[in-house]
Structure 1
Amino acid sequence: MKYLLYVLLLLVSFSCQNNEKDKNAVEKKIKKEPIIKKYGFTFNDFTVVEDTLQSGDTFSTILETYTLPDSLKTFDVTEKIKDSFNIKNIRAGKPFITLSDKKNKKNIKALVYVQDKTSYLVVDLRDSIKVEVKKRPTVIKRRTVAAELDGSLSETLSRKGVSASLANELAQIYKYSIDFFKLKKGDKFAVTIKEKYFENGEYLGVDEVEASYFEYKGKKIYAFPYKINPNQKKVEYFDEKASGAKSMFLKAPLSFFKLTSKFTTRRFHPVQFTWKAHNGTDYAAPHGTPIKTTASGVVEATGYTSGNGNFVKVKHNSKYATQYLHMSKILVRRGQSVTQGQIIGKVGSTGLATGPHVCYRFWKNGVQVDPLRLKLPTSEPMTKKQKEKYLAHIAPLKKELEDVTAKTFKE
């Protein structure tokens, strides 16, 4: 009897082990081939080759390594691609994927070229030639982040789970009002941002800054993006009182220069050898250096005189105008609208000049003045109606910054 019981126990144990083995085998079989869906295809249905473009690769050279469906030729496919995509834009180092028949790996069914993280080109050859440029679906999420600086701004943002690249964008927004090298530990800031994600949750970075402020030297400095004119291409930034975050004028018409002669009522002229007023500021720079308009406006005059050489004069509004002399080349025409920082000419030594430089002249209410001694305005002020509309727009954004700030720093 004991022997029989022992045999029964062995059989039960063996059966359980077999069942466990069978169960594990089934689980392994299920896990062996997960369903993979990418770029609009179920990869499991094809032989998939993921590769990277090498120097010299083209759509033609890729397709020529495969057998196309009946009646199709490589030329037909590339011509169809041209209708939707500039084939000259493919670049070495970019990923591409070929999907071919599962039984015959040489029979290509589709090709995918990945332009960047969000965009890709699909060439579907299954029924006919179908070419589409598609974008991976993205989701925009909005949040307000408030923090005290601890280390650099980029490090502080990273600890909040925000892309460190936002630090550079904020530095550009506040470049006229904050010296970011002088920010210190404990300085506070808050920013409302829109961030982009793929549907699977992968973080793509900051898409837009909606509002922000920094506590700098004991003062809160706000910045809100806004378009005074709905048709303008770029947003400008204004504070909580509707004053522009940037200066209306650049400090100089050149990026790199040497200041050689200031505005003065009495200067010995190096060419005419006489004492006379110098109603401009001279910036020396190599021949051909780009000259920038210091503020947006309309080109009032261009031309040549024996004293000024090649020159451009820009009217900025009813109050201000600037002029740029001794150019080697003029790059704008009379009546043309120009934006701050736009290249309007090249440094030269035309007219009465001993060497390559630009003489920068500045008018206020029709009188030439010294811009280096002038308290220059921020970007052109809004009208009363524009200001009312702007303040109504930023009111909820400002309150949101303040509410999150109060909650964060109370904690």
Structure 2
Amino acid sequence: MKRLIAAAFVAVCLISCKKEDSKPKVEPEIAVAEVKEIKEFGFNLNDYIVKRDTIKNGDSFGVILERNKLEYPEIFHIAEKTKDSFDNTKLQIGKPYTMLFSKDSLQEPKSFIYQPNPEEYIVVNLKDTVHAYKSRKPITYIEKTASGVITPGSGISMVLEEKGLSQVLAYKMADEIYAWTIDFRRLQPGDRFKVIYTDKYIDDSIYSGVHNIKAAYFEHNKEPFYAFQFETDSVKHIRDYFNENAKNLRRAFLKAPVQFSRISSRYNLKRRIAHYGYRVKAHRGTDFAAPNGTPIMATANGTITKSSYTRGNGKYVKIRHNATYETQYLHMSRRAVKVGQFVKQGDIIGYVGNTGSSSGNHVCYRFWKNGKQVDPFRQKLPEAEPISDSLKAKYLDFIVPVKEQLDNIILIEDSALELPKEDYITEIQ
């Protein structure tokens, strides 16, 4: 009997095991992480081995390629095939470059990418169809608003700094928009401002600074000053700032050709110079002292008539603005314009230096009126071009929504409410 019970028990166990074995086995699920594309320069960088570096002293295009597994005959072939679209002799020390290699055991160099500035890049395809081309990174402009109130002992720079905003906003308001209507060195407690501006981003992530001010409102000594940017010449892309009545806020000439500088020597026809034995030697220019390499700006729209060098002037540029006015900029370290080129007010025409008869880094700014050198600070300079009658109606329509947007910006000091945090994004294609 015991044997029968034991046999039955074994039989039941075997049947049970067979049933369990007959059930399909469920394999555990394995989560596969999706590899996110890393796009730059028009490539998916996940498909390559990426090496980044900067141009160093002694580097040349050939030296860099030779260092990265290319032989001289192939380097010569690449240079010849791309010479019409890429001047490989102008690589600048400190500029970044990227090399892409095949993701295999050979790790062949596929592309060389050079960045002359944060926005532009040049791609040289090294294999298959050898060629070079220039392109730009995508640019995004984000529209923002800011406001503030001047308090005792503060200036606009301090107000902006406390809010974590760029000092470029202060410069643009003081030197580009309100230079001829408000003295920013004499702001009063209670003066207030509102501004609509755009910040610039490269590749959606790299902050590239304040791009532009679209409109501003400044209340100085309880007097309101509106400013709206408007394009008056679509061919030359000339923009100016006008008030709510379409009056131009700027003069035809900037006060100075360099930012954040000081006047080290004024126009003086009776100046005595130690270098010349304290003899009277007329100084027919205004010297603005600034560090070497500081950008020099055209003080007004005009055409370059000279971009040259003389023993006395050093490297210099001369601009004809119209039949009445000319300006000249001396002692540059480097010139940035050519004869015949049209420049707009504020365009960079060169950089501060110490060339020619000069005893320190500065720009000597000379000003002609009707062919005679004069002191620009003693001239009643003309206002900038007014809006033409044909554009005035268009301008007045254009500023209606912008003024409404400006008026609706809430000053924190005026209300317990926070400023609206909406940003308006426009992408450059």
Q: Same fold (TM over 0.5)?
A: yes
Judged with a 3 Å threshold, the aligned counterparts in structure 2 of structure 1 residues 149 and 136 are, in CA distance, closer, same or farther, namely farther
Q: How many residues were matched structurally?
A: 315
The equivalences for 1:348-363 within 5 A come to none
In structure 1, C-alpha distance between the alignment counterparts of 2:252 and 2:369, rounded to whole Å: 16
> 1:295, 1:316 within 8 Å by CA — same for their partners in 2?
no
CA distance in 1, matches of 2:62, 2:384: 53
Alignment of structure 1 residues 26-37 onto 2, 5 Å: 36-37=38-39
- 1:402 to partner: Cα distance: 1.0
Partner of 1:379: 384
Corresponding residue of 2:201:
197
Alignment of 1:36-115 (within 5 A): 36-68=38-70, 73-104=74-105, 107-115=108-116
| Whole-Å separation in 2 of the counterparts to 1:182 and 1:116 | 38
1:183 aligned partner: 187
Q: Cα RMSD (Å) of the superposition?
A: 4.8
Deviation beyond 6 Å, 4+ runs, structure 1:
249-253, 287-290, 292-298, 314-317, 336-343, 358-362, 370-375
Secondary structure at the aligned position of 1:244 is classed as: coil
Q: Distance in 1 between matches of 2:84 and 2:161?
A: 43
Question: Whole-Å Cα distance in 2 between the matches of residues 197 and 95 of structure 1?
Answer: 18
Aligned position for 2:420: none
Contact 1:154 1:165 in 2 (8 A): no
CA contact (8 A) 1:213 1:221 kept: yes
User: Does structure 1 residue 258 correspond to structure 2 residue 260?
Assistant: no
The SS at the match of 2:174 is: helix
Counterpart in 2 of 1:228?
232
Q: CA, structure 1 residues 80+191, in 2 after alignment: closer, same or farther (shift >3 Å)?
A: farther
Q: Mean Cα displacement is larger for which, 394-403 or 130-139?
A: 130-139
Query: How far apart are the structure 2 equivalents of 1:199 and 1:403?
Result: 31
Secondary structure at the aligned position of 1:123 is classed as: strand
Give the deviation of 1:36 after TM superposition.
4.5
Give the direction of change, closer, same or farther, for the CA distance of 1:371–1:88 in structure 2 (3 Å limit): closer
1:62-97 deviations in Å (ceiling 9; x for gaps)? 11223349x971122123333323323321111212
Q: Quick check: 1:165 aligned with 2:168?
A: yes
- Structure 2 partner of 1:138: 139
Q: Structure 1 pair 105/228, CA: closer, same or farther in 2 (3 Å)? A: same
Segments of 5+ residues of structure 1 without an aligned counterpart are 1-21, 262-282, 299-313, 325-335, 344-357, 363-369
The residue aligned with 1:216 is 220
Distance change (3 Å), C-alpha of 1:85 and 1:171: farther
The alpha-carbon deviation at position 236 of structure 1 amounts to: 2.1
Indicate the residue corresponding to 1:409 in structure 2: 414
Does the residue aligned with 1:134 lie in a helix, a strand or coil? strand
Residue 275 of structure 1 aligns with which residue? none
Q: Is the 8 A contact 1:66 1:106 kept in 2?
A: no
- Would the alpha carbon gap of residues 340 and 208 (structure 1) be closer, same or farther in structure 2, given more than 3 Å must change? closer
Aligned 1:239-388 pairs, distance under 5 A: 239-248=243-252, 257-260=266-269, 284-285=282-283, 378-388=383-393
Q: Does the alignment pair 1:393 with 2:398? A: yes
Kindly indicate whether the alpha-carbon contact (under 8 Å) linking 1:243 and 1:379 is maintained by their aligned counterparts in 2: no
CA spacing shift, 1:103–1:72, aligned 2, 3 Å: farther
Instruction: Provide the C-alpha distance between the structure 2 equivalents of 1:192 and 1:226, rounded to a whole number of angstroms.
Output: 14
Deviation at 1:45? 3.7
State the distance in 1 between where 2:137 and 2:369 align: 52
From the superposition, tell whether residues 125 and 87 of structure 1 become closer, same or farther in structure 2 (CA, over 3 Å). closer
| Distance verdict in 2 for CA 1:218–1:63, change over 3 Å | same
CA distance in 1, matches of 2:150, 2:254: 30
Q: 1:207 aligned to 202, 207, 211, which one?
A: 211
Closer, same or farther in 2 for the Cα pair 1:201/1:64, shift >3 Å? closer
Query: Would the aligned equivalents of 1:196 and 1:203 in 2 still touch at CA under 8 Å?
Result: yes
- For each residue in 1:137-188, what CA deviation from the matched residue of structure 2 results, as whole angstroms up to 9, or x when unmatched? 2222223322224644344335555433232222222222222222345421
Deviation, structure 1 residue 50: 1.7
Q: In structure 2, what residue type is equivalent to 1:164?
A: Q
Give the 3-state SS of the residue equivalent to 1:196 in structure 2: strand
Assess, with a 3 A threshold, how the Cα gap between structure 1 residues 180 and 80 changes in structure 2: closer, same or farther.
Answer: farther
Q: Give the structure 2 partner of residue 153 of structure 1.
A: 156
Deviation at 1:400, TM superposition (A): 1.5
Contact 1:243-1:378 within 8 A present in 2 as well: no
User: Shift in Å at residue 108 of structure 1?
Assistant: 1.3
Q: TM-score, normalised by structure 2?
A: 0.58
**More displaced 10-residue stretch of structure 1: 137-146 or 97-106:** 97-106
| Contact 2:48-2:100 within 8 A present in 1 as well | yes
Deviation at 1:211, TM superposition (A): 0.9
Sort the Cα spacing of 1:171 and 1:372 in 2 relative to 1 into closer, same or farther, 3 A: closer
Retained in 1: the 8 A contact 2:149–2:413?
no
User: Retained in 1: the 8 A contact 2:191–2:220?
Assistant: yes
Partner of 1:120: 121
Q: Identity percentage over the alignment?
A: 32
CA distance in 1, matches of 2:144, 2:200: 11
Contact 2:232/2:238 (8 A) holds in 1: no
C-alpha separation in 2, matches of 1:137 and 1:295: 31
Distance 1:260 1:115, change over 3 A: closer
Q: CA deviation at 1:379?
A: 2.5
Cα distance in 2, alignment partners of residues 114 and 159 from structure 1: 35
Which fold has the larger relative contact order, with Cα–Cα distance below 8 Å and residues 6 or more apart in sequence? 2
Deviation string, structure 1 residues 178-219 (Cα, Å, up to 9, x no partner): 222223454211111122224544432222221112112221
Q: Which amino acid aligns with 1:398?
A: K
Asked whether the 8 Å contact 1:148–1:188 carries over to 2, the reply is: yes
